[in-house]
Amino acid sequence: MENNAFYVALSLLLNLDASLFQIVALSLQISLLAVLIAAVLGFPLGAAVAIWRFPGRGGMIVALNALMGLPPVVAGLMVYLLLSRAGPLGEWGLLFTPGAMIFAQVVLVLPILAALSRQKVEELLGEYREQFVSLGMSHSRMMPTLLWDARFALLTVLLAGFGRASAEVGAVMMVGGNIDGVTRVMTTSIVLETGKGNLPLALGLGIVLLTLVMLINAGAYLVGELTRRRVG
Amino acid sequence: MTAFQVPRLASSILSPSPELCFKDVSFSHEDKVLLGPCSFTLKGAGPTLVMGPNGAGKSLLLRLSHGLLLPTQGQITWSGEIRPRQAMVFQQPVLLRRSAVANLIHALAVNNVPRRERVKLAHDALERFGLTACCNTPARVLSGGEQQRLTLARAWVLSPQVLFLDEPTSALDPAAIKAVEAAVHEFHQRGTRIVMTTHDLHQAKRLAGDILFLSGGKVREHSPAEAFFEKPVSREAQAYMAGELVE
């Protein structure tokens, strides 16, 4: 019985295992905060690329699209080099802290949010452009209107970003270091437990992680559907 | 119905209607001349109805006049020192993904109407166009007729000196067409210069003060409505009126 992953997952939850809850809470904090920061930066960036015409715009779109597939370990390595003592941001002393993990996840999620929101906003702009020009709107005035009117599409984009953040392990492992009680999150624990041969625990953690991601997605879907029905 | 208050941005005098002057204007795309060269002046009371077969360049003429497109050659000028306030109603209503009233408030906001005046102006306009009941309804679930009335209400709150309408009734049923025509009439009464395209001869007869007839990208005739419907001068307009196929 103790070797059954579902049993392990259930007993972890039912016993209100303190260390488990700390790990889960840290995972959620890091991923949600990273997605939030990436959204604050990425949505306006995506909208700006959609609205303005400037030299190098095509190259920027290609770069953003390509960076959606940035391997987490590469992002982790870049952030590691930036934050390491000898690196340009070494003074911040962020390496092997949750802050470094958020940094790395922002790097991973930002291109996804920017590239996908660029596409959504551009579609919407195609529909609205003449009306906007007719209303005498400047490009910078178009941005908030477009972002608000694309809100349902952007919610899905946000979920894609959150999926990326919560699922990746390479970057947070490299810059966080998987330190027990400090930078240990669900994915790094799973790697660790698998390495130790504690497969039921690793699987149990995996089930908890999946359930959480599922719940957050279901919640976002419900909120989106309810408002969509109301707003049309 | 409460008296409509002209918003602050309309505090300048509404009349006389600004005059629109096309001087040797042409518009080309990929070396193909789609409109012009044409020269005419829209003055007098109007409303001006732009008529002609499909592909004659009616919509293009409206977009050039409104400044959505720039002419390849020639000049488009308005009488007066500053460019007059303008609005345009499109064939397919373009509405934001928010409630009817929020659509009007947005238009007021981008035109820098003070925040505290926006809600009242928006509600007054909704009432004027018979949309009070749909105030909080998402604009995009309104019927086609209601949507077009909402775009007219949006134009109304901006109190334009010139209103362009690009076949605003082509997708509407007779009752909705009547409501749009009544609205156009009200704009006209308020001193707004109306420039509207239509396919519908009867509609043109009901509304027009003068007719601008286009075919093949050229202005073939510009005459007072009565004279035009009595006896069009140009061969193209004669053929069009007789129901023949015109290029």
pLDDT in tens, A147-160: 999 998 899 899 99
**Nearest CB to A232; choose among B66, B94, B141:** B141
pLDDT at residue A232 above 80? Answer: no
> Can you give the residue ranges of every domain in chain A?
5-231
Please spell the DSSP secondary structure of chain B, one letter per residue: -PPPPPPGGG-S---SPPPEEEEEEEEEETTEEEEEEEEEEE-SS--EEEE-STTSSHHHHHHHHHTSS--SEEEEEESSSSPPPEEEE-SS----SSBHHHHHHHHHHHTT--HHHHHHHHHHHHHHTT-GGGTTSBGGGS-HHHHHHHHHHHHHHT--SEEEEESTTTT--HHHHHHHHHHHHHHHHTTPEEEEE-S-HHHHHHH-SEEEEEETTEEEEEEEHHHHHH---SHHHHHHHTT----
pLDDT of A83: 95
In this structure, CATH architecture of domain A5-231: Orthogonal Bundle (1.10)
Higher pLDDT, B41 or A4: B41
Q: Which residues of B touch A230 (CB under 8 A)?
A: 138
pLDDT in tens, B27-78: 999 888 898 788 899 988 879 999 988 888 899 999 999 999 999 999 999 9
Q: Which residues of B touch A133 (CB under 8 A)?
A: 67-68
pLDDT in tens, B108-132: 999 999 999 999 999 999 999 999 9
pLDDT of A1: 55
Q: What is the ipTM of this complex?
A: 0.86
Contacts of A202 (CB under 8 A, 6+ apart): A189, A190, A193, A194
Q: What is the mean pLDDT of chain A?
A: 91
Q: Which residues of A touch B66 (CB under 8 A)?
A: 134
pLDDT at residue B2 above 60? Answer: no
Do residue A232 and residue B68 have CB atoms under 8 angstroms apart?
no
Chain A contact for B152, CB < 8 A?
Answer: no
pLDDT at residue B6 above 70? Answer: no
Distances (CA, A) of A143 to A44, A152, B108: 7, 16, 17
pLDDT at residue B9 above 60? Answer: no
